[in-house]
Structure 1
Amino acid sequence: MPSQTETLRLYTALQLHTADWSGKLLLGLGLNETGRTLALASLAAGAASLFLEPDAKQLREANREGCLTFAVTTLDEALRALKNEIRQGRGITIGLAGEPAQWLHEMVERGVLPYAIAMSQPPSKEETASLQTLQQWGSLPLPTATSQLDSLSLHIEEDAAATLQDRRTRDGELRNHVPQELPQQLQERWFDTAPTLFPRSLSRAHWISQSVNLPRFEESSS
């Protein structure tokens, strides 16, 4: 399962890159560990995401971990689902099985233009040709690295709770401690979506200013 810490880092990078992902198509190449984490982060950001993955095992793993809304085997199926969610501005992650080079070529032929493209693995020569075409048409290359966060005086901590009820209480308190380097909306969206992405987790990853030490919450008596 992707870690909350890395999911929060990628989610924050997405939000700092583009504040509103609603109605935007994100194309991802690969569902390795980084790709699966990006899939969760894109859900948190509210993007409509399509991930190309030739390895059936990786697709099954992504499904098992809850990183995908569902997986399909044709571009038509993927586009039908994406079109509806994009129109309504809702987040979705779709895994498309098969060779990425084939699907990228078909996307170019059909004029499917993602808003942004993220790669969690190096593309092949055939994939690169189609990716370059999409970028020439206006798709933004979106590195999954979070180097833009390094300039912020922030770090991520994980707060642990004893019960899910305690977790909800702590989330309510943590969401009010917004580092001044981050937009309020970014923090609020994370605490709205993290419980749905990690429903059984008693921990919560959150940003904190390096110069600030939050008081530890007292353990729930229950």
Structure 2
Amino acid sequence: MPSQSQTLRLYTALLLHREDWAGQLLLHIGLNESGRELALASLAAGAAALFLEEDTRQLREANREGCLTFSVTTLDEALRALKNEIRQKRAITIGLAGSSAQWLAEMVERGVLPTAITASRPLTGAEETSLQTLQQWGTHPLHASSLIAINKASHNIEAPLATLQARIAEDTAATLQERRSKDDTLRAQLSKALPQSLQERWFETAPTLFPRSLNRAYWTEL
């Protein structure tokens, strides 16, 4: 499974970068472990996210781990689903199989404009060309410690975390029933270094993102 601590870190970074992701389109290239962690983080943050991946093994793994709402094989299918969820401001993660360069070129041709773009693997020249066009239209390139910088203009969304007087800890329970009880206890002792609403949302969504996990990552005071 993707790291729960890194998922929490990316989720926090997303919401510190942008307070409300509902109705926003996040475009990501790559569904390696870092990409799957971002997928879970984007679900927790409430974004509508499209993940491009050419490796069918990576797509299967992402589906198995619950990182994707579902996978499709055409951009038409992906856009139909995304438009509906964006309109209703609901979180969704869609994996699109096939050539990422082809899909990016088609997105440019059709005028699809994501709010932000991220990547977790090196880009090809054709991919970079399409992403440059999207940036010229107003899409923001983002990166973090586990995500690559698309270019020099990429914004490090984890930068605010460096100034926090807090750290991520993990608590382990013996059973799922105990996990729920311990979550209630942790929820009553939220870190003062981060917005309460951000942490509350994590405790609401984490059990659905990691339904069989006896661990819980959370922010704690130093």
Q: How does the TM-score come out when normalised to structure 2?
A: 0.92
Say which SS state the counterpart of residue 158 (structure 1) adopts. Answer: strand
RMSD (Å) for aligned C-alpha atoms: 0.9
Measure, in 2, the Cα distance between the counterparts of 1:163 and 1:117. Answer: 38
Task: Determine if contact 1:120/1:144 at 8 Å carries over to the other structure.
Answer: no
Measure, in 1, the Cα distance between the counterparts of 2:78 and 2:101. Answer: 16
Measure, in 2, the Cα distance between the counterparts of 1:21 and 1:61. Answer: 25
Q: How many residues align?
A: 210
- Give the % identical residues: 70
Match among 172, 178, 189 for residue 190 of structure 2: 178
Measure, in 1, the Cα distance between the counterparts of 2:192 and 2:141. Answer: 28
**2:15 aligns to what?**
15
How far 1:144 sits from its partner (Å)? 2.9
Superposition map of 1:69-148 within 5 A: 69-145=69-145, 146-148=158-160
Q: How does the TM-score come out when normalised to structure 1?
A: 0.92
How far 1:65 sits from its partner (Å)? 0.8
Measure, in 1, the Cα distance between the counterparts of 2:141 and 2:27. Answer: 10
How far 1:153 sits from its partner (Å)? 1.6
Say which SS state the counterpart of residue 150 (structure 1) adopts. Answer: helix
- Bigger Rg over Cα: 1
- 5+ residue gaps, structure 2, are 146-157
- AA matched with 1:142: L
Segments of 4+ moved more than 6 angstroms: none
Task: Determine if contact 1:48/1:82 at 8 Å carries over to the other structure.
Answer: yes
Measure, in 2, the Cα distance between the counterparts of 1:92 and 1:53. Answer: 16
- Residue-by-residue CA offset, 1:106-151 (whole Å, 9 max, x unaligned): 0000000000111111211110011011011111111133343122
Task: Determine if contact 1:39/1:68 at 8 Å carries over to the other structure.
Answer: yes
Match among 183, 190, 208 for residue 196 of structure 1: 208
**1:214 aligns to what?**
none
How far 1:192 sits from its partner (Å)? 0.3
Measure, in 2, the Cα distance between the counterparts of 1:131 and 1:63. Answer: 26
**1:156 aligns to what?**
168
